[in-house]
A and B are shown apart, each in its own frame.
Chain A
Amino acid sequence: MGMGKRLLACMALLLLLPLHAYAVPEPAGVELSDVANDEGTAVAISWDWDGSPTENDQFSVELRVNDRLLKHFELSQQEMQTLTDARSWLSGEVGSLLDQRTAAKAEMDQAQSDLDKAIIDKLPGSQIGGLRRTYWQKYRVFRRLDKQIAALQAKFAARTYKGEDLRLKALTWEFLNEAMRSGGEWVSASAMAPMASVGTKGDRTDLFGVNAAKRKDAGRLYFTVDSISVPNPGTSASDDSATGLEQFASIPINLVPDIEYQLRMSTFGAAESNPMDPAAAGGPQLAQEISLGTVTPRGNAFDKSKGNNLAFALVFSMIILAFIILARRNPNMFIRRIAGLEAVDEAIGRATEMGKPVMYLTGLQSLSELSTLAAINILGRVAGKIADYESDLIVPNRDPVVQTVAQEVVKEGYATAGRPDAYREDNIFFLTDDQFSFTAATCGIMMRDKPAAIFLMGYYYAESLLLAETGAATGAIQIAGTDAEHQLPFFIVTCDYTLIGEELYAASAYLSREPMLLGSLKGQDIAKAVMMAIILLQAILFIFNGEWKFFKDLVTPL
C-alpha cells in the first residue's frame, strides 16, 4: 500500500472513531437546582438521556475551579505558620522511625516466611519453636515502632485541627491550584456512575405529593452532587511523605455555599463498542464533555425532603395533645382491655402465694431507646404493686445506666406504696453488657431462684427464646412485651401473655389509669385510624387508578 493510501486509511479511521466508538447518549433538557444534603449544601442535576444507555455506558460530573473556591481553601498566615510548625515538629520527632519501621517490617516478613517454610518442611519442633520465638520478637519490634509513629501522627493532627483540618485545607488548595495552573481546571465532583442505573426524581423524598408541577418531571433522571473529589497530592516531593502520614487515594470535600459552580458532564462509552480501538478494550472511553450550566449551592436551613415527615409529626402530635387535654375534662375514657396487663396482678399475687420472687428484665438496649424507657416505666408501676403484695423483685441488667435508673424507679415505686423498708438495692444489679453472657447469667438465676413470675419487657434479639424457654421450664407465669417484631413469635409461643408492639408503650399508661396518659393512648388510636384510612384509600385508588401517586408520595419518605 502506498503512502497516500495509508494516509487516507488513517484519516478514514479517525473519522469513523467518534461515530462508532462513542455513540453514547447525551443529557437533554438539563436543569440545575440547589438542594439540601446532611450538611445543607448540595446541588442537583435533572435531565433525560437523548437515547438509551447500555449497562456499560457511564458518566461523571466535574466542576470548574474558580478564584472564589481557591480563596476559600487558602490558609491565612497564622494558619500556615501553625501547619509549618507542626510539620517541622513531626519531621523532627518521627526522624528515623519510618526507616526503622520499614526495616523491622522486612525482618518480620522474613521471619514469618522462615517459620512458614519450617512448618511446611516439617522441621523438628525445637527448630520451629525457635523460629516462632524469632518471629514474635520481630513482630514486637515492628508493632512498637508502628505505635510510636501512630501516636506522633495523632499529636500532629491535634496540633493542626483548629476548627477545621488545616492539613486537609492546604492539600485541597494545593490540588485546586495545581488544576488551575495546568490548564485542566475541571475537577471531579463525583465518581463515574453507570448511566443505566441513575435514580429518577420519582425516587427522591423531596416530592411532597402535593406539588403537581414537581411531579410532572418525576420520571426524569436525578443526580445530587455534594462534594469535590480531591486526590491527596502528597508525593515524594511533599513534606508528608517524610512524616509517614496516611496517603488517601481521594478525599471528598463538601461544596462551599454561595459560590457559583460551573458544571459539566463527561460521558463514557464501553470500550467493547469501539471496534477501531481493540487495544483499549476493558475500560470506559471518554465520549463527550457537555457543559451543564452554572448553579449556586446555598446553606439550607431546612431540609425540604423531610417536609412531609414534619407535617405528619405535627398533625399526630396535635391529635395526641388534643386528646390529652380532652382527657383532663373527661377522665372516663374507654380504653380496650389488654389481657397481658390485666394478668399483672395475677402474676404478682401468685409470686406472693408461693413465696417466690418476681423477675423483671428491661431488654437488651440502652436507655436512649424508647422500648427500654417504656420497659422502665412499666417497671415503676409493677414495683409499686410488688411492694403492695410484699414480694421480692429481681432486676438483672445489661446496661449500667439502665441499672442505675431501674434502682431509682423501683425505690420510688416501693416508697409510693408505703414500703420503703422492703426495697433491696442489691436485687437490681448489673450482670454484663455481653448479649449471651447476660443470657446465660439470667437463665442461671431463673433456674436457681425459680421466680414465680417473669416479666420480659423491652427490646430483645436472638436471646429472646433462650430466656423465655428457660422461664417456661421453671414453671413461672411469664408476661412478655416487645416491639421487636422478629422476636414476637418466640414470646407468643413460650409466654403466657405477650404485649405486642404498641401495647408495650401503652402499658405504663394502662397500669397507671391516669387520665392524661390514657388520653394520649386514645389520641394514638385516632392517629392510627387516620393512617389506616390513608392506606385503605390508597389501596382502592391503586386498584382503580394506579397512576395517581398522591398518597404514596405523601407517606413514602416516612
Chain B
Amino acid sequence: MIFLKRQLPIIIAFVAGIMMWIRYYIPSEVSTNLEDGYLEWVRIIVGFAAILGILSLLQHHMLKIRMKRPGFAFSYVTIAAFAMMMFAGFAPFNFPGFAEKNMETGSLFNWLYEFTFIPMQATMFSVLAFFIASAAFRAFRARSMEATLLLVAAIIMMVGRVPIGDLISNATPTFMLFGNEYHFIDFEEWTGWLLNVPNAAAKRGILLGVYLSQIAISIRIIFGIERTYMGGGD
C-alpha cells in the first residue's frame, strides 16, 4: 500500500516529468503524438473527475438543506437549476415552442443558456466596475509616500487615457530642448513612460522570478522532494 500511495506516484511524476521535458526538444511526429496522447489522457481523467465534481456539489447542497445551515434556501435553487438544465439537455423530445432538443441551437437548453446564464455572467462581470471604484478609493488615500506616488501615477494614467488629457496637453505652452519641442504638460508622453519604463520593469522583474521559481518547483516535484500535493506530507 505504501508503494502505491507514495513511491508509485513519485515514479510516475519523475518519468512523466523527464519525458515531457525531453520531448520539448525533439521535433518529430512521435514526440508530437506523445504530447497529444498525454493531453487526451488528461481529458479522459477530467471527464471522470467531472462526475466526482457533480456528486460533490449535490452532496454539499443536500447536506446543507438537511442540516438547515445558513442560506440553505439557496441550495434548493442550485439543485433545481441543476436538475432543470440537465433535463433540458438530455430530454429526448422538443419542448413546446422550441425547434430543437438536447443542446442544439434553438433548444430549451440553449435558450436557458443564452437568456439566463449569459446575462447573469455579464452582470457579475459588470459589478467589477463598482468594486474597482471602492478599491481605488481605499488605495488612493495619500497616507504614506508610496500611497502618494500611487495616487499621482493613477491620476496621470486616468487623465492621460481620456480625451480631456489630450486637450489639456495641447492647451499648455511648449518649450524647445535639444532641438525637440515639448509640452509643459504632456499626459500622453507621461502615461507612455509610466507604462513602458517603471511598470514594464517591475512586471518583467516579477515574471523573471516566477519563471525561475517554476523551474525550481518543477525540479522539486520531478525529483520527489516536494510531495505535499500527493497528500503524502513530508
Give me the interface of A with B, judged by CB distance under 8 Å: 36-40, 136, 139-140, 143, 299-303, 306, 309-310, 313, 316-317, 320-321, 324, 366, 368, 370, 373-374, 376-377, 380-381, 397, 399-401, 403-405, 408-409, 411-413, 416, 426, 429-434, 436-437, 439-440, 444, 448-449, 462, 465-466, 468-469, 483, 485, 488, 490, 493-494, 500-502, 504-506, 508-509, 512, 514, 516-517, 520-521, 523-524, 527-528, 531
Contact = CB atoms under 8 A, between A and B. Distances in A.
Interface stretch (B46-54, B158-166, B167-175, B185-193): B46-54
Nearest to B207: A485
B71 interface: yes
23 contacts: A40-B26, A139-B106, A300-B27, A303-B27, A317-B219, A320-B215, A373-B217, A401-B46, A404-B52, A409-B231, A429-B59, A430-B60, A437-B121, A440-B124, A465-B132, A466-B127, A490-B135, A500-B206, A509-B226, A514-B234, A516-B225, A520-B216, A521-B216
B1 interface: no
A465 B131 contact: yes
Contacts of A366: 46
Interface bracket on B: 35 or more
Nearest to A532: B208
Contacts of B207: 485, 501
A436 B123 CA distance: 9
Contacts of A313: 21, 215
B213 interface: yes
A429 B215 contact: no
Main secondary structure of the interface of B (DSSP, over half): helix
A462 B125 contact: yes
A524 B212 contact: yes
B70 interface: yes
B29 A40 contact: yes
Given A429-B59, A469-B135, 13 more contacts: A39-B28, A40-B31, A136-B99, A139-B106, A306-B25, A316-B212, A317-B219, A377-B229, A397-B53, A431-B57, A465-B135, A514-B234, A527-B212
Nearest to A492: B139
Contacts of B106: 136, 139
Contacts of B70: 448-449
A524 to B, nearest CB: 4
B145 interface: no
Nearest to B220: A520
A376 B29 contact: no
Contacts of A520: 216, 219-220, 225
Contact of A403 (B26, B52, B121, B232): B52
B57 A429 contact: yes
Contacts of A521: 216
B87 interface: no
A440 B128 CA distance: 12
B57 A430 contact: yes
B74 interface: yes
B223 to A, nearest CB: 8
B63 A139 contact: no
B231 A444 contact: no
A36 B27 contact: yes
Nearest to B53: A400
B46 A317 contact: no
Contacts of B209: 501-502, 528
A444 B77 CA distance: 13
